[in-house]
Amino acid sequence: MKAELVRIGNSRGIRIPKPLIEQCGLKEAVELRVDNHRLIISPGRRPRQGWAEAIRAARPATGDKPLFPDFPNKFDNEEWQW
């Protein structure tokens, strides 16, 4: 499928057809990156998505005691909006 670049102020943009948006699961925000001269558009991530897993994965490698031994705590599980 080909798409025309359209002028948006000093920038350019493309219109993504609705079926492609639905098929890719795109919402309000997307992530853009360039890989081997290709523009990659992927669904946006939630803020802090994957942080807890990254902390748990890094903990054994450091050999240090965790900064927050009770993580996640009651506040994290019941009151905080992740």
- Residue pLDDT, tens place only, 1-13: 888 999 999 999 9
What is the average pLDDT score of the chain? Answer: 84
Find all residues with CB under 8 Å of 32, minimum gap 6, and list them.
39, 40, 41
- What span, in angstroms and rounded, lies between the C-alpha atoms of 73 and 67? 13
Q: 30-35 and 38-43 as β-strands: parallel, antiparallel, unpaired?
A: antiparallel
Which tens digits make up the pLDDT trace of 34-49? 999 999 999 887 777 7
- What pLDDT does 72 receive? 76
Dihedral of CA atoms 58, 61, 63, 69 in degrees, nearest 10, equals: 20
- What pLDDT does 59 receive? 65
> Per the confidence metrics, is the pTM higher than 0.85?
no
CATH of 6-43, one of 1.10.287, 2.10.260, 2.30.30, 1.10.1790: 2.10.260
- What pLDDT does 45 receive? 74
Residue ranges per structural domain of the chain? 6-43
